[in-house]
Structure 1
Amino acid sequence: MAAPMTITIQNLNGTWTLDKGLSNETDPMLKLLGVPWVLRKAFSAVTLHVHISEYTTTDPMTRKALVNIEFVQSAIGGGLAGTTEKRTLNWQMNHHKDYIFGAVQGWSRFIGCSTDIDGSILPDLDLQTNVENNASVARFLQAKTDPDGTIAGGFLVEEPEASHFGNGLGLWLHTFERSVNSGWTLEQVWGFELIGGQRYFTRRMVIVNSAGQYEMGFSSGIITCSRSFTRSYVKLLSLTCNLTAIMTGTTVVAFDLYGTLLSTESIVKQLEKHFSHAKAQSISALWRRYQLEYTWRLNSMDRYEDFSIVTFNSLQHALADNGEQLSDDDIEQLMAAYDSLSTFTDVTPTLTKVAADPSLEAVIFSNGTKIMVSNSVLRSKDLSPHASAFKDLVTVDEIQRYKPSRATYQHLATQMGKAPTQMSKIWLISGNPFDIVGARSTGMQAIWVDRANTGWNDAAAPDLRPTAIVHNLEHIVEEIRARI
């Protein structure tokens, strides 16, 4: 099948099968790489599968987000063993070694776009390959021509999910590899192209041996709907499969993250490194208050800043209200601490119970960006062991509206494969009253988690009340079962 629009260069998660009918013959390229004849014959006989896991980590030195891609390659038939490789997209040297290609040095990164002399948009490629006809190699890698020199249709120009990648007009993946022992090089540009009117994931590559001989070719992959992820948290980052099929016959349970699963009050400990306990509590409370207030104000003004920027700006406001300042390094550490918040004590037993119930499909539904939320889940020592309980991650940054805008809950329903008439089939679990009211306004079911036992006092829309109220998160399963 062609690649759905939910699969992008920033979300390649899933299992891919090499489509030999849409790819160049591998034997000439493998021969140039010095692969023995017997292995080349084995390659020609196998069906090649590559499981891709794309996820983010944090650079321990700079505290910046790093995108990583892990490949687990397997082959059916031909007697070939599988291989595994991991790349970090920071254009720093990675080392890899396997039984086919030996020791290899590799560099990988995202690249943005440039404008050709004819006005067309193409990858902004800094060619690493060194051959006599570099210009034609570059044109091929940029999808301006095909291997035989004929004019190609070009890569699809698709806007990246975050503006800090490239210049916002397009995004591709660029890799360069060099054999330590044999001296060959392999340069690739990954993207999406239209083939026969359908969108396919393609990898254009040029291989050069130590004598300067080279071959150009491209491969096309077919995405398969696989949920056998090698890392449980990849489920949080991907929309690989058709969720309509996944959710059939189950009840969708959408957990809010901040203030429901993760306690924003746990940031107080980090603030206490700089301030007294009382002041740390004051700053933490104001930080959360302004964080929410800013999202509501942005909604009212039809403006959008992603949640990480909102979080940064609200921290600055909270510090100023307390007459305090912190250095840039201290601010950065506090922002990083927001990625490792503690859970409430009732979260672990609840998620254990939800994961054991096949009739419930749990997802996270958050105001945060995908990177911010996935990092929060992965770096929380309490929550990360339960990451596999969540079948998906839905964030509002895809529509650039914040809760409680009706559009956010409708977006959740769309991602879950629910029609507007099926809103009542989705259950929101939240400790935030504004979130409960927003969900109920669209016809969703909603359980308010009233851990403080204060009772329901929200009067913004008196007719909109929770479907149920619990004082311990564990009770949500019983409440849902009693109503379905």
Structure 2
Amino acid sequence: MFKAYLFDAYGTLFDVHSVTEKLEEVYPEKGHDVSQEWRKRQVHYFMIRQLIDSYQPFDQITRHSLIDALEFNQAEYDTGRLEELMEAYRHLKPFEEVKRLTTNLPDHRLTIFSNGTNDMLLPLLKNNQLDQTFSILSADEPKIYKPDPKAYAFAHRQLEIADPKEILFLSSNPWDIAGAKNYGFSTAWVNRSQQKWPSLGIQPDFIYQDLNELP
């Protein structure tokens, strides 16, 4: 049915809050709160950068978000500690079904399209032995963040598939699904936490509890 499967990385293939384990090791009883604040600010900051047309690479945004999350939670840090935690972000854990995708989808094109930079994504894949499973498209190449339509247009051009509906885009982030659907991709919302789809006036084509439900 689909000629290519296009996956968001953070929150869809990789658990962004798996970094909590490292955070708890460094900041006992604060790890959960720091992780939640880190992710919230990360999304907020790249959205602001896109809205004001002032692109900054995702690794820099992630670092700034970490600093603010630590300060918000009154957690002390230095340059070495920041580097240690940024390195932990390159070791995020994949969700348990991700490594079965090549078995479940043999002979299919599996591509990541992420706001993350290649310097973040390539080590992440290698550290999880997934570098032979996925090819990577990064929003850092056009320097336009999802959910801007021009970001999805970039991915569409790279895949060289004429009809965008023959590309299934999968993400756990509603803002990402809304952007991809608005552009013209077929979309699947990966709703692991069983949330209600927000009232955006845009609906995903499919809703999956996890990636095991891929047809």
- Provide the TM-score with structure 2 as the length reference: 0.95
- CA shift at 1:472, angstroms? 2.0
Match of 1:368 in 2: 116
- CA shift at 1:250, angstroms? 6.4
- CA shift at 1:455, angstroms? 3.0
- CA shift at 1:418, angstroms? 3.0
Q: Give the number of the structure whose residues are more often helix, by fraction.
A: 2
Question: Residue deviations 1:326-367, cap 9 Å, x none?
Answer: 12111100001100110112222234312x2x2x21111110
Matched, 1:332 2:75: no
Match of 1:342 in 2: 93
Matched, 1:352 2:103: yes
Matched, 1:447 2:185: no
- Structure 2: which amino acid aligns with 1:259? G
1:257-272 correspondence runs (5 A): 257-272=9-24
- Candidates 441, 462, 465, aligned match of 2:203: 465
- Candidates 424, 438, 446, aligned match of 2:165: 424
Matched, 1:389 2:133: yes
Specify the SS of the correspondent of 2:196: coil
Matched, 1:302 2:53: yes
Separation in 2, partners of 1:371, 1:280: 25
- CA shift at 1:325, angstroms? 2.1
Q: 1:409·1:439 contact (CA, 8 Å) conserved in 2?
A: yes
Matched, 1:405 2:157: no
Q: 1:250·1:361 contact (CA, 8 Å) conserved in 2?
A: no
Question: Structure 2 unaligned runs (5+)?
Answer: none
Specify the SS of the correspondent of 2:110: strand
- CA shift at 1:293, angstroms? 0.6
- Structure 2: which amino acid aligns with 1:387? D
Match of 1:255 in 2: 7
Specify the SS of the correspondent of 1:272: helix
Separation in 2, partners of 1:268, 1:319: 13
Separation in 2, partners of 1:394, 1:472: 22
Q: 2:2·2:166 contact (CA, 8 Å) conserved in 1?
A: no
- CA shift at 1:311, angstroms? 0.4
Specify the SS of the correspondent of 2:4: strand
1:307-322 correspondence runs (5 A): 307-322=58-73
Match of 1:284 in 2: 35
Separation in 1, partners of 2:179, 2:64: 24
Q: 2:27·2:75 contact (CA, 8 Å) conserved in 1?
A: no
Specify the SS of the correspondent of 2:93: coil
- CA shift at 1:261, angstroms? 0.6
Separation in 1, partners of 2:58, 2:88: 15
Q: 1:271·1:280 contact (CA, 8 Å) conserved in 2?
A: yes
Separation in 1, partners of 2:14, 2:143: 23
Separation in 2, partners of 1:352, 1:294: 37
Separation in 1, partners of 2:208, 2:82: 36
Q: 2:34·2:70 contact (CA, 8 Å) conserved in 1?
A: yes
Specify the SS of the correspondent of 1:465: coil
Give % identity.
30
Question: Structure 1 unaligned runs (5+)?
Answer: 1-248, 479-484
Separation in 1, partners of 2:103, 2:66: 34
- CA shift at 1:301, angstroms? 0.1
Separation in 1, partners of 2:10, 2:189: 14
Separation in 1, partners of 2:82, 2:47: 24
- CA shift at 1:387, angstroms? 2.8
- Corresponding residue pairs, total: 215
Specify the SS of the correspondent of 2:131: helix
Specify the SS of the correspondent of 1:447: strand
- Structure 2: which amino acid aligns with 1:433? P
Instruction: Supply the RMSD in Å over aligned alpha carbons.
Output: 1.4
Q: Give the number of the structure whose residues are more often strand, by fraction.
A: 1
